Amino acid sequence: MRPFPKATHLLSNEFYQDKIPENIGTENIFIHDVHDPLPFEDNYFDFIYCRHVVEDLDYPVTLLREMSRVSKAGYIETPSVRAEICRGIDGNGTPWRGYNHHHWFVGNVDGNLELIRKHSVIEYYLDFDESANEDILVKYPIYWNSYYLWENEVSFSINYHRAVSSDYMASILDLANAGSRSAGEFGALVVAAEPK
């Protein structure tokens, strides 16, 4: 619904005419299901901007592989694991954790995009200091998202932990901590790139 203002092309599953930047001509708007191969040749783009999409997909593998195929580099942003384990962020103080329509926890771990399937048991068995997590999100807004810059190929791993496995909850908390480290590094990169 909010395309990147400097984009030359837009690929979406719906068309929002009033949200399209003026620099994108209608011939460069593609209504497409990203569970299917992308309608572009290899290395067609120099850079892809993908914001708040991956976590919504039932099966994100196709999109991640296709982005590597059709672009030389890119940027992927998703809600952070810190946000996804927090209660009440899905609007008006909702009692559940994270966004109820998301299927994946996503984080950048040392240049690898790690995805863990999101199971409903997190509502009951995730044990951590929730108020400290909320305080971090309020004090440091950069921790609301996960940031991943890639070149040549999207490096990713998918973890389909069984929801009742002993390491499922630990993996989620580990990914939250790794995501916080990555967000701090990304924030420093942005500050360093700002004009002096």
Do residues 76 and 150 touch, judged by C-beta distance below 8 A?
yes
Among candidates 105, 124, 125, which has minimal Cα distance to 115?
105
Inform me whether the pLDDT recorded for 192 exceeds 80.
yes
The rounded distance, in Å, linking the Cα atoms of 190 and 152 is 21
**pLDDT for residue 181:** 85
Can you tell me the distance from the alpha carbon of 130 to that of 42, in angstroms, rounded to the nearest whole number? 45
pTM, rounded to two decimals: 0.91
Question: What pLDDT, on the 0 to 100 scale, is given for residue 56?
Answer: 95
Closest to 106 measured CA to CA, from 81, 89, 131: 81
Query: In terms of pLDDT, which residue wins out, 175 or 15?
Result: 175
More confident residue, 168 or 63: 63
pLDDT tier, 1 (very low <50, low <70, confident <90, very high otherwise):
low
- Tens digits of residue pLDDT in 105-162: 999 999 999 999 999 888 888 888 999 999 999 999 999 999 999 999 999 999 887 7
Q: Tell me, what's the pLDDT at 91? A: 83
pLDDT, position 167: 86
For residue 160, what are the contacts with CB-CB under 8 A and spacing of at least 6? Answer: 117
Q: What is the pLDDT of residues 51-60, one digit of tens each?
A: 999 999 999 9
Over residues 68-115, the pLDDT tens digits come to 999 999 999 999 999 999 998 888 778 999 999 999 999 999 999 999
User: How many residues are given for the chain?
Assistant: 196
